[in-house]
Amino acid sequence: MLLIGLWAATTAVAVLVGVFAVSTVGATIRDRGPVGDEVMRDNSVAPASVPAPEGPAVGDEIAGEWGAFDVECRDTWAYGVGVRPDKEAGWRIVSWEKGPDDDVDAVFSDGRNSVDLEVFCNQGRPTLAELERNTLGGDD
């Protein structure tokens, strides 16, 4: 009976730890992309101005010291149209996603640093969801 009681207690603790871990990781995952609340939404735009799915694509440029990432939205679908690294400053493209997808990514690098952009469509317009800067290891 003692062993059965210990087994039941251990199982209950393991289940509680598992539920806590999954809910914590799940909350992190759910807060990303087009349905998350990680990025402040622009609710000042009138709903009538949101492009219809059959309407024209809405494009924008996400730019910085690394260069630019051109993204188009057609309703909720994001399309990576092009990338332009700032070659004079030493930046290059590591990778970029053309889509269509719920979000598109581009990674720029200058050898010492990298910038990872994630863009999704918010009310039919390209919106930066995440900008991640990393310092890469040196060759020292």
Please give the pLDDT value at position 38. Answer: 43
- Domain locations in the chain? 1-30, 52-135
State mean pLDDT over 94-112: 89
State mean pLDDT over 88-110: 89
**pTM for this prediction:** 0.58
Instruction: Summarize pLDDT for 15-59 with one digit per residue, the tens.
Output: 888 877 776 666 555 544 444 444 444 555 554 444 455 657 889
Instruction: Summarize pLDDT for 109-121 with one digit per residue, the tens.
Output: 998 989 999 999 8
Please give the pLDDT value at position 83. Answer: 92
In the sheet with 58-64, reading across from the earlier edge strand, the strands are 58-64, 67-74, 77-85
